[in-house]
Structure 1
Amino acid sequence: MTKFTKIEVSSRAKAGKGAARATRRAGHVPGVIYGGGQEPTLIALDPRIVQRELHKSGWRSRIYDISVEGGASVHALLREIQLHPVSDMPIHVDYQRLAAGHKVHVEVEVRFTGEEVAPGIKRGGVLNIVRHTVDVVVDPANIPEYFTADLSQLDFHDNVRWEDLKGTENVAPVLQDNNFVIANVAPPSVDDDAAEETAEAEA
C-alpha cells in the first residue's frame, strides 16, 4: 500500500520573480505543482517543511499528499529544490502532480542489511556500494519507499545485483542492463595482509 506524506501549503495568486521575492519576504518558500494534464498550481510553503523532508532519506521517491488551501489535495513527487548559494536555505520547490496510469521516473533508495554477518566482511573484506539509489519507471500507485539489499551471504568477490533486491515488484529499472551490480565485497589488499603478517612476526 502506497504511503503518503501529508503537508499543508498556501496558494499563491501571482507568478514571476517579483511575486516569488514577496513570498520569501513573508517567510515562505515559493513553489509550483505541475503536470497531470492540469494547469500549474502556485503554492507557498513553510521552509521548515522543506528542510524537514530534505533531512529524511528517500525523499526523491516519497509521495506527498499536498493539501492546498481552498482546494482539493494533490498527490505529487518532490522533483526539484533550489537552494540559496550562501545560506543553503530553500528558495523554490517544484512538485510533479501524479495521475493514475501515467508512469513516472523516480530514484529509489537502496537500504542494506546483514553487513555485520557477511562472511567476506567478517574476514576483513571491504564492502563496495556501487549504487545507493536506483532509477526506475513505475506507476504512481506502486512507487516503493525503498529497496532492500541483503548482504548476509556475501563472501569475497560476491555481488548483490538488481535481481537480488527485495521490493522491486511492479517496477522497471531505467538502466538497460537489468542485472547490474548494486554492491560487492572485495578481499583485503595485499598490503593489508603483509602488514598483518609483519605485525604478527614482530609480536
Structure 2
Amino acid sequence: MLIRRAAALTTANLHHHFRRYATAALLQELDTVPPQLTYLEGFPRPDPKYAETIHAIPRATSGKNIAAKERKAGRVPSIVFEQEDGQHGGNKRLISVQSNQIKKLVNHLGRSFFLSRIFDLEVVSEFGSDEIVEKVRVLPRNLHLHPATDAVLNVTFIRAPSSAWLKVNIPIVLRGDDVSPGLKKGSPLNLIKRTVEYLCPADIIPPYIDVDLSELDVGQKIVAGDLKVHPALKLLRSKDEAVCKITPSRVSDQKKSK
C-alpha cells in the first residue's frame, strides 16, 4: 500500500513539474524576442516621416470632470499600461497628451495605421519643461473619437519594449486592382476585413499588409492564410477567414442566365 501511494505521489509530482516546465517554456517563447529580428526586404516598414515623439504630462486623478477640464485646456486624458499578454496590464500611469499632436498624427496616418504604429512617449513634469518623468516606447491600444466632430476624447497606450509580443490589428492595403481580371470584368470587390489581427514582436510590427488583387478573378477570394507577412508574426484568426472576394455582378449573372 505504501509503495503504491509513493508511486502515485511520484507520478503526480512528475505531472506537476512537467506542467510547470511546459508553461514556463511557452511564456519564455512569447516573452523573449531574439534581438536579430528586423524588417525583411520586400515587406512594409514604418515610414520614418512619422517617427514622432508623443509628449505628455502626468495626470494625478481621473473622472468625468477632470477629463472635461483636460479637453477644454487642449489636452487629451490618456493612460499608459504595462504590456501584459499582448493586451492588458498593470503599472498604470495617468497622463495627458496634446490634442493637436494626436489629431495631426491620426489625420496623417489614419485611425487604423495610428493604432498599429510604435511611438516614443516622453512624459515631462509640465509642457515646455526639460524635466523628464519617463521616456518609453508605446503602442496606441485604443482611440476614442467624438462621433460628430472626430475630436480626440481619449487614448490608451501600452508599453512596447523590444521583448514584448503585442496583439495588433494590422491594416490591409489593396494592390493590383487596376489589372485584376475580375474587377476588369465589372464585378465588385467585397472587402470583408480592413484589418487582420496578429501577435507581433514589438520591433517588427508592419505598418500595413499588402494584398495583391492582380490575379483575382470573379468568385475568387483571398483568405488570412494567403497574406504575406514576416514569418515571426502569429496569426490570431483562422487562416481560412476571408479577407476580400470578387463577387459576380448582377449584369454578368443576367448574361449567364440568358
Map 1:21-170 onto structure 2 (within 5 A): 21-36=68-83, 39-55=91-107, 56-57=109-110, 58-69=113-124, 70-84=132-146, 87-170=149-232
Aligned length: 194
| Runs (5+) with no aligned partner, structure 1 | 198-203
More strand by share: 1
> Could you tell me how far apart the structure 1 residues matched to 2:100 and 2:200 are?
30
Tell me how large the CA RMSD over aligned residues is.
Answer: 2.5
CA distance in 1, matches of 2:92, 2:177: 45
Corresponding residue number in structure 1 for 2:27: none
Query: Which secondary structure does the structure 2 equivalent of 1:148 belong to?
Result: strand
1:168 Cα offset (Å):
4.3
- Following superposition, the deviation at residue 97 of structure 1 comes to 0.9
* Counterpart residue type for residue 176 of structure 2: G
Using the alignment, how far apart are the partners of 2:52 and 2:223 within structure 1? 34
Is 1:185 the counterpart of 2:185? The answer is: no
- Residues 117-169 of structure 1: per-residue CA shift (max 9 Å, x gap): 01111112221111111011112122111111110011121222223323343
Write the letter of the residue equivalent to 1:59: F
Instruction: Identify which range, 9-18 or 125-134, moves more after superposition.
Output: 9-18
| Secondary structure in 2 matching 1:115 | coil
Tell me, in whole angstroms, the C-alpha distance in 1 between the residues paired with 2:77 and 2:153. Answer: 7
Counting aligned pairs with the same residue, the percent is: 25
Matched, 1:6 2:52: yes
Q: Contact 1:9/1:43 (CA < 8 Å) preserved in 2? A: no
Provide the TM-score with structure 1 as the length reference.
0.82
Which AA in structure 1 matches 2:79? V
Residue range with higher mean Cα deviation, 110-119 or 11-20:
11-20
CA positional deviation for 1:12: 2.0
Q: Distance in 1 between matches of 2:149 and 2:177?
A: 37
Distance, in Å, in 1 between the alignment partners of 2:148 and 2:211 is 37
Q: Contact 1:8–1:66 (CA<8 Å) still a contact in 2?
A: yes
Report which of the two structures shows the higher radius of gyration computed on alpha carbons.
2
- Higher helix proportion (structure 1 or 2): 2
Q: Is the 2:198–2:235 contact (alpha carbons within 8 Å) kept by the matching residues of 1?
A: yes
User: In the alignment, is the contact (CA less than 8 A) between 1:146 and 1:167 conserved in 2?
Assistant: no
| Contact 2:58-2:123 at 8 Å conserved across structures | no
Distance 2:93 2:215 in 1: 49
